[in-house]
Amino acid sequence: MKNVLIIDYGTGNLKSVHNAIKKVTEKQDCKILVSSSIEDLKKSTHIILPGVGAFESCLNGLIKTKVRSYLEEMVLEKKKPFLGICVGMQMLATKGYENGEFSGLGWISGEVKKINNQNNNLKIPHMGWNTLKFLKETAFTKCLLKKMKVTNLDDISAYFVHSYNFQNKNANEKVITTCYGEEITAMISKENIIGTQFHPEKSHYFGLAFLKTFLEQG
C-alpha cells in the first residue's frame, strides 16, 4: 500500500496537489496525507514538497515545522521517493537569491537566481505552458513518455509560473529544460530525489502522467 505524504508547512497549493494525487490513485490502495508530523513522515512511502511563495518564507515555514532532520533522514538516508514542486524544488538548492541571499537545503548543488528579463523584453513571471526539452532518457522519463503516447516530444508542454530559475551545478542532474530567454531547469533528478519547476498538478494530462510515474517509483 502506498502512503503519500504532502508536506504541510503553512504555504503552497496543497489542495491542488492533493486533488491530482487523488485522481491518479483513484482505483488504488493509497492513502494521501497532508501533514507535517514526524509520525506521518516515518509512515510515508512517497514524499511531496509543494511550494508557492518566496524562497525564504517557504524555507522558514519548513524549518518551523521542525521536520527538517527527519525529512533528511527519510530522503537522504532511507531513500524514499521524493518530489519537490516549484519552490519545493528550488529549496533543495545550495543557495537562493530571492529578496536576499539564503541557504537552501543543499540536497542538489546549485543556485536559484532571478530570470533575466532581457532588458525588459520578457514578461516576468514566466507564466503559462511551455515546451519541454528532454535532455536525456532516464528510467523515469521512459516510463512517463510511454504513458503520454506521443510521437513528437516537441508537443509536450507543462504549466510554469515562477520568476526564479534553479541553475543547478551538475549537468547530469538536469533531465528536462524549457526556454524562456534563457535555459530554465524544468526537472532535476538525483537518485530518489525529483524536482520540477513546472506544476504537474496543473499540467493536465502530462502532469497527471508525471505524478503517476512518480508514485510508481520506489
Partner 1 sequence: MLKIRIIPCLDVDAGRVVKGINFLSLRDAGDPVEQAKAYSDEGADEITFLDITATHQRRRPMIDVISKTAEKCFVPLTVGGGVKNIMDIKEFLLAGADKVSINSAAIKNPSLINESSKKFGNQCIVVAIDAKKKSKNWNVFINGGRVDTGIDAISWAKNIEKRGAGEILLTSMDRDGTKNGFDLELTSTISSAVNIPVIASGGVGCLKDFFDGIKLGGASAVLAASVFHFKELTIKQVKKYLKSKSINVRIDNLDK
DSSP state of 200: G
- 18 as an active site residue: the answer is no
Q: Is residue 43 within 8 Å of 3, Cβ to Cβ?
A: yes
ω into residue 200 within 30 of 0, thus cis?
no
Which is the catalytic residue, given 18, 46, 162, 199? 199
- 58 as an active site residue: the answer is no
* 82 Cα distance to chain centroid: 9
Residue 53 binds to partner 1 (criterion: CB under 8 A): yes
Element (H, E) at 87: helix 87-90
By CB under 8 A, the residues from 75 to 134 that bind partner 1 are 117, 120, 122-131
Least Cβ distance, residue 42 to partner 1 (angstroms): 28
Residue 198 binds to partner 1 (criterion: CB under 8 A): no
Residue 54 binds to partner 1 (criterion: CB under 8 A): yes
Residue 204 binds to partner 1 (criterion: CB under 8 A): yes
Q: Which one among 6, 13, 164, 194 touches partner 1, defined by CB under 8 A?
A: 13
Residue 196 binds to partner 1 (criterion: CB under 8 A): no
Q: State the maximum Cα–Cα separation within the chain, in Å, rounded to a whole number.
A: 52
Which is the catalytic residue, given 18, 46, 86, 173? 86
- 162 as an active site residue: the answer is no
Backbone φ and ψ for 58, nearest 5 degrees, come out as -65, -45
Q: Is residue 56 within 8 Å of 7, Cβ to Cβ?
A: no
Residue 64 binds to partner 1 (criterion: CB under 8 A): no
Q: Hey, what amino acid is at 91?
A: M
Q: In angstroms, rounded to a whole number, what is the distance separating the alpha carbons of residues 46 and 120?
A: 41
As annotated, the active-site residues are: 86, 199, 201
Residues lying near partner 1 in the complex (CB under 8 A): 13, 15-16, 19-20, 22-23, 52-54, 117, 120, 122-131, 148, 150, 155-157, 159, 161-163, 179-180, 201-208
